[in-house]
Amino acid sequence: MFLAPVRPGDELTVTLTVKAITPRRGTDHGEVRWDVEVTNQRGQPIARYDLLVLTPKHPAAVHRCHARPLERQTHVDHDRDQAADH
């Protein structure tokens, strides 16, 4: 969830904190749930969200994994957000 707008030239810092690690029986991967916080150069929170990642249980499993990484893109409509604020 975005908490504040991001402007060109802003310097962002992303902090990931592990919330949970869940092995999956009968597979070579498990789940890792992260808390994600994005702050700007003034330390103000810009975004917070929960991230779920499937990850190999053992480093050797990385070589057997043929899945492509997922991309998550978020489009922010600043004009709509600013109109809602007024």
Q: What pLDDT, on the 0 to 100 scale, is given for residue 56?
A: 86
CA max distance for the chain = 54
Within a domain: residue 3? no
Within a domain: residue 25? yes
Within a domain: residue 28? yes
Report the SS3 class of residue 5: coil
Within a domain: residue 72? yes
The total number of residues shown for the chain amounts to: 86
pLDDT digits (tens, 9 = 90+) for 28-86: 889 999 999 999 999 999 999 999 998 887 766 554 544 444 444 444 444 444 444 44
Instruction: List the domain range (segments joined by +) for residue 33.
Output: 13-85
What is the strand order of the sheet 45-56 is part of?
Answer: 13-23, 29-39, 45-56
Residue 12 pLDDT class (50, 70, 90 cuts):
very high
Within a domain: residue 4? no
Q: What pLDDT, on the 0 to 100 scale, is given for residue 59?
A: 65
Total domain count, the chain = 1
Q: What pLDDT, on the 0 to 100 scale, is given for residue 1?
A: 85
Q: Which pTM was predicted?
A: 0.60
Within a domain: residue 68? yes
